A and B are shown apart, each in its own frame.
Chain A
Amino acid sequence: MNVPTSILTLIIGIVITLASGWVSQNNGLMPTAAAAEAVEIDRLFTAMIAIATGLFLLVQGALLYSLFAFRRRDGDETDATPVHGNVSLEIVWTAIPAMLVLWLGIYSFDVYQSIDSAGTMGSTHMAHQHGGMETVVAAGEGTPAPSDPVLLATQGNRADGPLAQAIATEVIDPLIVNVDGLQYAWLFTYPDTGIVSGELHLPINRSVTLNITARDVIHAFWVPEFRLKQDAVPGQVNHLNFQPTKEGTYPVICAELCGAYHGAMKTRSIVHSQTDYQAWVDSQLVAHNSSTTAVAQRSDPSPVSVLEQHATAMGLPDHWPDHGHEHSLSTLPPDWLEASSLDPSGS
């Protein structure tokens, strides 16, 4: 009896493992991944779904089996054989979840570091004032970015892999967009050009930093295809850094309840090819030429503060699993390559 039981256990174990693996690979639950960060998060999601499916099948299977196998027979008024516990079994089902959780914690931490490359996902008291925002609150919880150029340089040298190179390049030139949430619209301001837009236009394969705030109540910036969300809190500037990797049009959704028309607070994010993006910028500049006075008041972050922001990013190559991202410098426009010659690691 013992041998068949253990073989049966083995078979069940294999079936559950295979099923979990299959579900994690073929669930199709996530929408398109349109940013480098989304790929990372999906990898984490896949791992979690595999574990969750395994545990789900294990527990539900045991319950269902009990439901049929252990139902009381008619007329049987006796109790079942008493079992009060089993120390080794209890140690196993304490230790295995503990190890799983530990592993998941470390993996999540790893993924978080890679998506929050600049370490600025926390709120900061930004140097620049947003329009009409007199009371920028020092929340006292901002992440002070290290500004030591030596550190910056040494860490930059460790950069390897195409994505890391891309990051090293973008430290000089991430696209900065100031995001304003208001009932019930999004406003995107491009400090480098002064463009103000109701839609978020982004060039592909270029790092973006969003400085997110709100004018009235709390909103939340969310693009499901980027897998990224950050609250827009009045009186505070929150950040998001990411890199769109797939051309297309994606919804920008307000994810924090902000009033009656919360569900209607939507716009689009369009990821362009480099040329299309430049064309869009040019067309906007022509259109906005006469009316950029208000926008000009928004002070741009100085290159130094941008560097500071990204200082921690330079340490990241260690944490980037090499997943063969497609972005390489060759896909970037010529002017951007020029900018890369200012790589701090070479200074």
Chain B
Amino acid sequence: MTQAQATHLQEVEVTPWREYFSFSTDHKVIGIQYLVASFVFYLIGGVLAELVRTELATPASDFVTRETYNELFTMHATIMIFLWIIPSLTGGFGNFLVPLMIGARDMAFPKLNAIAFWIIPPTSVLLLMSFFVGPASAGWTSYPPLSLITNKAGEAIWILGVILLGTSSIMAGLNFLVTILKMRIPSMGLNDMPLFCWAMLATSALQLIATPVLTGAMVLLGFDLLVGTAFFNPAGGGDPIVYQHMFWFYSHPAVYIMILPAFGLISEILPVHARKPIFGYQAIAYSSIAISFLGLIVWAHHMFTSGTPDWLRMFFMIATMVIAVPTGIKVFSWVATVWGGKLNLCSAMLFGMAFVSMFVVGGLSGVMVASVPFDIHVHDTYFVVAHLHYVLFGGSVFGIYAGLYHWFPKMTGRMLNEFWGKVHFALTFVGFNMCFLPMHVLGLQGMNRRIAEYDPKFATLNLVCTIGSYILAVSTLPFLVNAVWSWLRGPQASGNPWKALTLEWTVPSPPPVENFEVDPVLLIGPYDYGRHCLLPQPVARSAPVTNVEAKTADLSAPRQSEENINQ
């Protein structure tokens, strides 16, 4: 049995907890450091969101001051983007999974990897400390000239924080690119890679290309703020629109940095729990690359009301709409993967399917806002707030949760409780839709975003949103308790509890420090479910074999798995 490997490779070594607070260069430790740290920031960002929603429960500005309100949503977005979604998806899942999935023993640059992570804790402390001096309050977009004249100290800290987090992100991107391209086991060609690795390949390219431009924008903005230059300040002859171009040149691709890895996770999770091969492997793989490329040439769709010239608006409209094609390919392929499967509706699968369902809503509204005439109406309204949360919460966060339920056994060696997992799912799904679905209507009807007070005619729907957000807040409790309790004393997980076929499941849970004793050799593809109709089936031999041997072994089905376990 594949699980037998677990007992074979010594005793399961549980990483001592101190390891997680050290400058470890083990990609698995770093991955979990990212995941745990970013989840803490998720909770902090969530508290800020609840304060925002509480203010919006009534039309008047009556809960926090207007200044505080602006600080709250600015820091909410900053934390959720830079300290939760990006680090948990790329840093967390990327680090833990990529080397294991490609049969490597670690990332290409383990020290760089550790440095990239350890930039985050001090930076986050710095960002949070800015609450003592009045944090940035010009929105996470930080448009000048407003960002140059409000809460200067907080803004300076914010700029520094974004530069540091961007640097960390560039380091991680470089590391993934080299790891995926250079460290795969010899028997794994690019087209044998799990789709999560394809997604990370596309993501890291974006991190490398787009993030430096953000850093550039931040440096210039910092000069305007602190030294009084006028790169972007119209009072001195600068052009604030140039900042918007630079900012969105990063921040649109940032959306793909936040969603592509989640696409990858879903492409792993659905086949395992549907007991069916992924539908259209190559289409999904290459569409990630297409999205990554197209994502670089659509940024000005955030600027359709910035006095952007007509030809530019048309170009960016068409380019943005074209992204719907590769994205649609993914969605249809996922549906086709599930279709006709034998669905194991565990928490991971429920979140995975809900991801597809929710992301479709965000994708459809995304095509709508790409249309310039319509965007002229809904730009900077709650329609956009709804759209972006369907992509980043209904998409990215549902994807993260699906991933956590799916790989928790691998990461910790313990199983999560399924009952509380389903409670968590139900509360999240209901709370999320109750919170964000009505926002579409609010935006269309004329409620603009980033306001502490609004027209009383929007009161009812806003109250619904606020109640939904409270349900969403409560929904994290079952997960938290479940995760902590299960990690400490949940039932032991076998090496391959889901009978999955990717390489990380061929090693014990949690994996040993060196991952693989010897380089594994692939025997079947990552999604070859239903091939022998016999489970479990051997995925890889852990002893080196010749190509001929691998081929013949491949054909002699069904096999006894002992042969590749006890060398």
B319-364 at interface with A (beta carbon < 8 Å): 321-322, 324-325, 328-329, 331-333, 335-336, 338-345, 353, 356-357, 360-361, 364
Are B344 and A45 in contact, with the CB atoms below 8 A?
no
Are A227 and B376 in contact, with the CB atoms below 8 A?
yes
The reply on A29 being an interface residue by CB < 8 A is yes
The segment from B153-161, B202-210, B236-244 found at the interface with A is B236-244
B202-252 at interface with A (beta carbon < 8 Å): 234-235, 237, 239-241
Apart from A30-B444, A82-B528, A217-B143: 19 A-B pairs, beta carbons within 8 A: A60-B360, A62-B339, A63-B357, A78-B342, A79-B529, A83-B276, A86-B279, A101-B322, A101-B367, A105-B321, A108-B371, A121-B313, A143-B309, A229-B377, A231-B305, A234-B240, A254-B448, A260-B69, A262-B451
The reply on B422 being an interface residue by CB < 8 A is no
- With both chains docked as a complex, state the minimum distance between the C-beta of A79 and any C-beta of chain B, in angstroms: 4
- With both chains docked as a complex, state the minimum distance between the C-beta of A272 and any C-beta of chain B, in angstroms: 21
Q: Select the residue from A80, A227, A258 with max chain B CB neighbours within 10 A.
A: A80
Q: Select the residue from A30, A86, A111, A122 with max chain B CB neighbours within 10 A.
A: A122
Closest 4 CB pairs of A and B: A263-B451, A123-B307, A235-B234, A224-B446
Per-residue CB contact flags for chain A residues 44-66 toward chain B (1 = under 8 Å, else 0) read 11001000100110011011001
Are B446 and A31 in contact, with the CB atoms below 8 A?
yes
Are A48 and B367 in contact, with the CB atoms below 8 A?
yes
The segment from B478-486, B489-497, B530-538 found at the interface with A is B530-538
The reply on A81 being an interface residue by CB < 8 A is yes
Are B338 and A63 in contact, with the CB atoms below 8 A?
yes
**Cα A220 to Cα B344 with chains together (Å):** 50
The reply on A290 being an interface residue by CB < 8 A is no
The reply on B381 being an interface residue by CB < 8 A is yes
Question: Which of A66, A93, A228, A255 contacts B343, CB < 8 Å?
Answer: A66
User: In the complex, what residues of A have CB within 8 A of residue B533's CB?
Assistant: 78-79
- With both chains docked as a complex, state the minimum distance between the C-beta of B376 and any C-beta of chain A, in angstroms: 5
Question: Which of A109, A122, A229 contacts B379, CB < 8 Å?
Answer: A229
The segment from A69-77, A198-206, A339-347 found at the interface with B is A69-77
Give the nearest-CB partner of B331 in chain A: A59
Are A41 and B374 in contact, with the CB atoms below 8 A?
yes
Known: A77-B535, A79-B342. A59 touches B379 (CB 8 A): no
**Cα A288 to Cα B341 with chains together (Å):** 76
For chain A, the bracket of interface size reads 35 or more
Give the nearest-CB partner of B445 in chain A: A31
**Cα A261 to Cα B531 with chains together (Å):** 63
Are A119 and B340 in contact, with the CB atoms below 8 A?
no
A90-128 at interface with B (beta carbon < 8 Å): 90, 93-94, 97-98, 101, 104-105, 108-109, 111-112, 115-116, 119, 121-123
User: In the complex, what residues of A have CB within 8 A of residue B138's CB?
Assistant: 257
User: In the complex, what residues of B have CB within 8 A of residue A82's CB?
Assistant: 276-277, 528-531
Are A89 and B336 in contact, with the CB atoms below 8 A?
yes
The reply on A84 being an interface residue by CB < 8 A is yes
- With both chains docked as a complex, state the minimum distance between the C-beta of B59 and any C-beta of chain A, in angstroms: 10
The reply on A191 being an interface residue by CB < 8 A is no
Known: A90-B329, A228-B377. A59 touches B340 (CB 8 A): no
Question: Which of A55, A115, A234, A239 contacts B373, CB < 8 Å?
Answer: A115
Give the nearest-CB partner of A256 in chain B: B380
The reply on B11 being an interface residue by CB < 8 A is no
Chain B residues at the A interface, C-beta cutoff of 8 Å: 61, 65-67, 69-70, 137-139, 143, 145-146, 149-150, 234-235, 237, 239-241, 274-277, 279-283, 305-310, 312-314, 317-318, 321-322, 324-325, 328-329, 331-333, 335-336, 338-345, 353, 356-357, 360-361, 364-365, 367-368, 371-374, 376-377, 379-381, 440-441, 444-446, 448, 450-455, 528-531, 533, 535
**Cα A142 to Cα B235 with chains together (Å):** 20
Give the nearest-CB partner of B381 in chain A: A255
Are A255 and B379 in contact, with the CB atoms below 8 A?
yes
User: In the complex, what residues of B have CB within 8 A of residue A85's CB?
Assistant: 279-283
Are A48 and B374 in contact, with the CB atoms below 8 A?
yes
Are A234 and B453 in contact, with the CB atoms below 8 A?
no
A200-253 at interface with B (beta carbon < 8 Å): 216-218, 220, 222, 224-225, 227-231, 233-236, 238-239, 251, 253
The reply on A10 being an interface residue by CB < 8 A is no
The reply on A67 being an interface residue by CB < 8 A is yes
User: In the complex, what residues of A have CB within 8 A of residue B318's CB?
Assistant: 105
| 18 A-B interface contacts by CB (under 8 A) | A29-B445, A31-B446, A52-B364, A55-B364, A56-B364, A70-B274, A70-B341, A72-B343, A84-B280, A85-B283, A90-B280, A98-B325, A122-B310, A222-B380, A225-B446, A228-B376, A233-B306, A258-B146
The segment from A133-141, A169-177, A296-304 found at the interface with B is A133-141
- With both chains docked as a complex, state the minimum distance between the C-beta of B462 and any C-beta of chain A, in angstroms: 12
The reply on A321 being an interface residue by CB < 8 A is no
Known: A52-B368, A257-B139. A227 touches B377 (CB 8 A): yes
